Amino acid sequence: KTAYEIPKRDWSSDVCSSDLVERDGRCLLAKRAGSTVNRYSCVAGYVEPGESIEEAVAREVQEEVGVPVTDVRYHSSQPWPFPATLMIGCTARATADDIHVDEHEIGEAHWFTREDARRALDRANPELTVPEPVAIAHHLIRDWVERA
């Protein structure tokens, strides 16, 4: 078959951001509403049509945990097949400490120190579990810990 005979397929995918927010040597991690385990991750959300990645990061962090951010920076990207999504990892700096979670999406959110995160990466922190290396959030957290 020629290219003209092969049916077209819609290869579009959603674009999400996974965002490591930091302030004063601490990072902000959250867990899903209804979660019963201590698995915390980076704040994440979808990039809306017509929105830049930087705008999406600021909006999602504000909506989900009520923390304003600045200095959004691209870190890395990852294909994520659940479903057909491109995950874009970013870092950002918080401009305030107060957390106000959107209880529909987020169960809890807390500031964690580098030592808290380091111990979680080493599976030695019973109060904090972080995503496995398959997730971009794991790499955002690891890179933040190692930058100390």
Q: pLDDT tens-digit profile of 95-142? A: 999 999 999 999 999 999 999 999 999 999 999 999 999 999 999 999
Task: Determine contact, residues 47/53, Cβ cutoff 8 Å.
Answer: yes
pLDDT in tens, 54-110: 999 999 999 999 999 999 999 999 998 777 789 999 999 999 999 999 999 999 999
pLDDT-derived band at 5, boundaries 50, 70, 90:
low
Long-range contacts made by residues 137-143, C-beta under 8 angstroms, separation at least 24?
137/18, 137/20, 137/41, 137/42, 137/44, 137/89, 139/75, 139/76, 139/89, 140/18, 140/19, 140/20, 140/42, 140/75, 140/76, 140/89, 140/91, 141/20, 141/27, 141/29, 141/42, 141/117, 143/75
Check residue 9 and give its pLDDT. Answer: 45
pTM above 0.85, yes or no: yes
